[in-house]
Amino acid sequence: MRLNSFIQQGIALVAAIVTIACSSNEPAEESDTIPTTPINEMAYTPEATTFELWAPTAEAVAVRLYEGDTLAEEVAMTVAEDGLWRAQVKGDKRGMYYAFQVTIDGKPLKETAGIFARALDVNGNRGAVIDLERTNPEGWESDRAPEIPASEIVIYEMHYRDMTAHASAGVKHPGKYLGMAERGTRSEEGLATGLDHLVEMGVTHVHLLPTADFGSIDESRPTDQYNWGYEPKNYNAPEGTYSTNAADPEARIRELKTLVKAMHDAGLAVVLDVVYNHTTVAENCGFELTVPGYFYRMREDGTFADGSGCGNETASEKPMMRKYMVESLEYWVKEYHIDGFRFDLMAIHDIETMKLIRSRLEALNPDILLYGEGWAAAAPLYDESKLAFKRYTYQMPGIAAFSDDIRNALRGTLDLSQGGFIHGVEGNKEALKFGIVGGVEHPEVEHTEAAWCAAPTQHISYVTCHDDHNLRDRLEHLSPEASEEERLKMAKLAHLGVFTSQGIPFIFCGEEMYRTKLGEKNTYNMPDKYNAIDWSLKHTYGDLVEYVKGLIALRKAHPAFSLGTAEDVRNHLSFIDIDNEAAVGFLLHDLEGIDTAKNIVVLMNGSRDYVEFDIPAGSYKWIADGESIIPRGIGRYDAVDGKIAVAPISGVILMQD
């Protein structure tokens, strides 16, 4: 796509408008310097509906009102000096649909719902005139997020269909918001599924894969289609696929709110996976159909830059895109009571925008949880030193990044060419130690690169997520000669590494019950056969379920596993010296005033032989023995000579009262 004359003229006019709105053509750095000009609004009252659209390069804009698919009215909009077009339509228009049509250089562009539509028709090509108050479920006004201590945060990533589509889930609305909101669901074996399972496991934050409207699925067709949803089309309205009635614009909103309230009532916080780094095909997106060439980064030849690997990348450094991201996220917090956000390909966004997001959302919710992927699919078209890459996480207080350090150290490389610590592979010890301290500077860790976290709360510890093979499939591929018993020991050791690290632990749905995706790596659009969790696995692998549940309970019971600051980690965590590249041990010590335990010993043996560790002499409560974890204690261990032998592929946790 080449820049024609109207786009070139338009970009120049945008720059002029932004100069007026911002008093600067440079990216805004403070919250009070982003433009005050509205971007896109539909304000309904029974007497009249007001429409606004920021389109400073347009020579004309019309808003079209539809009754179903029939055009009922077309209204010319008027423009103000700041490039904001406005029209007010008298009468009660609730239930009608609307679309904007922008004309630039004599050419009418394709209709669009705008860029801030809050309610949509099927497939999101038109907005819907609704009264948002009518979408609130009973008790919504009193809905509040649970109070969760920072030291107890455990993130559980899930997809609506993964959790509820299989018949064994026992839900009435499989694959839907309401299906995930159901209580009392049970498998054929009588075990808790869905929301009740999350409560039973003890997780605190539920990370929902992309929930805003995306362009990958035809909402008018039967709802057995599957997609992760990383193809955003409309950022401020829920995806219709997960609604029981995609044709009802209010239903999808009400049903998502019902789910949020159900999770809050169950003591769970809600995190949305957001994808502001790129959009669906630009020619179908409101950004390009309102102000062509502005919201994206464009190459000199007029083509779209593609740091996302998905065809385009957005330009967070531009004032109105920055404003858009901030206000969109604020809307989700205010209207849907969302408690946190995970940013897809966060490194495409600039650091100043991410810091502004933190500041603005923290003002709404001091406990807001923000984290993201500290990488991009390819080099973004912007100054790398100003982007939110993992290595610059320390510059963004209150924002965390996924740690591929601990991930790769524990389970091996992305390409499956080599296993990790749990496979007994040498060369992963220092990277694992770096993950254990939560990515902060520590005198006993040899860094291959500079520590990237200013605090361990900026470090998301994990071994798998929706991307890539899940843990069982990796183990079966990399260790085909191992018995299932040995592979389960490896899975337990991987989870122990995550949950005893100082970072924030993160687990992908179903890993606690040894799910499989039948060996497939990228199941983003594959059917339920590959993605839906078979809940009979919870019975088959109940021992692993109990092990992970025990790890979560242990972490909640002992704040020493989440010390919170880099200084505390350096003062209270020391490694146990051992000459074995596939064994790591550490001591949490001097915990008076921090924990009920005086000292905590964690020993991990990834090798295939017994390993003897030197530990402080004394009497210990035995918490974990490689097979099970019981926070109140399995028994006692007297380290009279200060030594303990740890079995192959296992972890031991000991505590001194």
> What is the average per-residue pLDDT within 528-556?
98
Widest CA span in the chain? 88
Fold of 153-276+319-561: TIM Barrel (3.20.20)
Residue limits of CATH 3.20.20.80 in the chain:
153-276+319-561
Residue limits of CATH 2.60.40.1180 in the chain:
573-656
What one-character DSSP code corresponds to residue 120? B
Q: What is the pLDDT of residue 33?
A: 60
Burial class (CB in 10 A: 0-12, 13-18, 19+), 2: exposed
Q: Pull the structure tokens for residue 394.
A: 């320390």
Tens digits of per-residue pLDDT, 460-505?
A: 999 999 999 999 999 999 999 999 999 999 999 999 999 999 999 9
Q: 65 with 98: CB under 8 angstroms? A: yes
Q: With a cut of 50, say whether residue 5 has pLDDT above it.
A: no
- The residues with which 44 forms a beta bridge, in sequence order, are 49
Supply the CATH classification number for the domain 573-656: 2.60.40.1180
**CA 41 from centroid of its chain's CA atoms:** 27
CB atoms within 10 A of CB 488: 20
Tens digits of per-residue pLDDT, 63-106?
A: 999 999 999 999 999 998 899 999 999 999 999 999 999 999 99
447 pLDDT band, cuts 50/70/90, is confident
Nearest to 484 by CA among 540, 548, 420: 540
Indicate which residues carry an active-site annotation. 344, 373
Q: 209 with 275: CB under 8 angstroms? A: no
How far is residue 515 from each of residues 162, 305, 402, 522, measured CA to CA in Å? Answer: 10, 37, 22, 15
Nearest to 164 by CA among 191, 189, 182: 182
Q: Pull the structure tokens for residue 144.
A: 């509040």
Q: What is the pTM of this model?
A: 0.95
Supply the CATH classification number for the domain 5-135: 2.60.40.10
Instruction: Give, in degrees to the nearest 5, the angle at Cα 143 between 142 and 148.
Output: 125
Q: What is the pLDDT of residue 297?
A: 98
Spell out a b/e string for 135-153, using b for 16 or more CB atoms within 10 Å of the CB, else e: bbbeebeebebeebeebbb
Percent of the chain with pLDDT over 70: 95
Residue limits of CATH 2.60.40.10 in the chain:
5-135
> What is the average per-residue pLDDT within 416-432?
95
> What is the average per-residue pLDDT within 387-411?
98
> What is the average per-residue pLDDT within 223-235?
94
626 pLDDT band, cuts 50/70/90, is confident
> What is the average per-residue pLDDT within 295-310?
97
- Coil vs helix vs strand at 256: helix
